[in-house]
Structure 1
């Protein structure tokens, strides 16, 4: 009950933004064209046990078959205290992909992450120059717990190397972060984190589904000014 009251009070007063969509007269909503493979199919993989992610292309599931050519680099998380994640290379879009699992309502620690909403500053080592930002503590902790593994895997994908699986040099300059619910919040934080940690000129694309509010107005303004390719999808 106390956590619920704090949650409502904080989000009501702090205008904790992600950023939020705006209604503007005369502005029509953007229609997003779907492709054969969308982020929903990618996210489905996160319901699989982590030990299978690195060998998913051998499994007969529909979600796996929907990812032709996808090459996994790293995975982790336990689906409870640490949401599952994976990092890989998607040849059809020539991008590194970072995906995070959403809230699992059957797992206590996953639920506690959502209600741990006290506003905190971002880690200055991971987010240099973001001193004005205040973000949801649970989301911040979850992102920080996997940040080193995510960054290392993305850097591996960005380094030019020949791989027999894709018969090409990667050296990608684009990173796509995706997630649903809690995973969407982590994906947003990861997108900001990678924007700050990777070389200038790296394209950051963030796609979230049902993402809750993540940070204060300072954080939202920074995202609006520095992340040009962000899609926040709500049902």
Structure 2
């Protein structure tokens, strides 16, 4: 098949999805500790998320120090952002994992908490030029500031991912979207954009670190229905007493999707079933309010990886 045609196909395809049924409340499943071998599988994605803090020139040439050296076979294809008005981002292909990686830069803990407490905290419908109304009715709402930030990079990232899929289509790669902090929020919106536009045979995965709440109940239910159904298709990792993931508050109408893995004070990683699991072994129970949180936990470490560029 002509690759130019396939690129056009990706750039214009919109897959209509039927209405999502109302969720049924179910009894919480038992919290389970993740094996050390499974924890180690996240290490490449932790380095990918950390590398997003580096300038586009460094990620485009894959010369970003320890984080780039940790994934030496990665083949970057696009990067952008200015680190001020638009967070850094990059796209590329990892042959070892056979996945196209999309990564967004985060921000420092004090900045993300400020963003979660300003006028942009209002919930707003998704941008219909990026998220078609046929799939995303106005009942699905997200943080206004996150939506505005995401809109600035959505189109170039979409095309970069489509081109990477076409370039490696013989290997049928998945797409893995990663990020930390604000970057985790932007990456989640990317993942939702991809799963609603790309055909079913393109598997979309998400690994987010220190993810703040992004949207309302309808948004969380959409993520659960379309991203968390596959094996480890959606994982949001929370660290110890990090207060960022408990913001914005649920009293404002915000809800986390399922898929939490919480790092305990003992450094054990526990799976927390359901949305906003209230157990003390999960972030909502471990950090009932900002006053008992520790911003020092926001950057990690996540199995030895502390978020930030060290190039």
| Shared fold, TM over 0.5 | yes
Per the alignment, do residues 33 and 112 of structure 1 end up closer, same or farther by CA in structure 2, a change over 3 Å counting?
closer
Residue 189 of structure 2 is aligned to residue 155 of structure 1: no
Choose which of 87, 94, 108 in structure 2 pairs with 1:90: 94
Per the alignment, do residues 29 and 106 of structure 1 end up closer, same or farther by CA in structure 2, a change over 3 Å counting?
closer
SS at the partner of 2:101?
strand
SS at the partner of 2:68?
helix
Distance 1:174 1:50 in 2: 23
1:46 Cα deviation from its structure 2 partner: 2.1
Residue 206 of structure 2 is aligned to residue 206 of structure 1: yes
Cross-structure match for 1:10: none
What is the Cα-based RMSD across aligned positions, in Å? 2.4
Distance 1:23 1:46 in 2: 38
For the 8 Å contact 2:79–2:90, the answer to whether it is kept is yes
**Aligned length, in residue pairs:** 203
Distance 1:68 1:56 in 2: 8
Choose which of 23, 40, 50 in structure 2 pairs with 1:34: 40
For the 8 Å contact 2:53–2:106, the answer to whether it is kept is no
TM-score, normalised via structure 1 length: 0.78
Per the alignment, do residues 76 and 66 of structure 1 end up closer, same or farther by CA in structure 2, a change over 3 Å counting?
same
Unmatched segments (≥5 aa) in structure 2: 1-25, 240-311
1:37 Cα deviation from its structure 2 partner: 4.2
Distance 2:90 2:27 in 1: 35
Distance 1:76 1:198 in 2: 22
1:56 Cα deviation from its structure 2 partner: 2.1
Per the alignment, do residues 160 and 44 of structure 1 end up closer, same or farther by CA in structure 2, a change over 3 Å counting?
closer
Q: Deviations over 1:75-127 (max 9, x none)?
A: 111112211111110111111000011124687xx776543211111012311
Cross-structure match for 1:101: 105
1:170 Cα deviation from its structure 2 partner: 4.9
Per the alignment, do residues 105 and 232 of structure 1 end up closer, same or farther by CA in structure 2, a change over 3 Å counting?
closer
For the 8 Å contact 2:143–2:215, the answer to whether it is kept is yes
1:50 Cα deviation from its structure 2 partner: 1.7
TM-score, normalised via structure 2 length: 0.60
> Where in structure 2 are the equivalents of 1:1-235 lying within 5 Å?
24-31=28-35, 32-35=38-41, 37-57=43-63, 61-104=65-108, 113-114=115-116, 115=118, 116-128=120-132, 129-131=135-137, 132-160=139-167, 170=170, 172-227=172-227, 228=229, 229-235=233-239
Cross-structure match for 2:18: none
For the 8 Å contact 2:73–2:94, the answer to whether it is kept is yes
For the 8 Å contact 1:180–1:211, the answer to whether it is kept is yes
Q: Deviations over 1:113-155 (max 9, x none)?
A: 5432111110123112111211001111111110111111111
Unmatched segments (≥5 aa) in structure 1: 1-21, 162-168
SS at the partner of 1:234?
strand
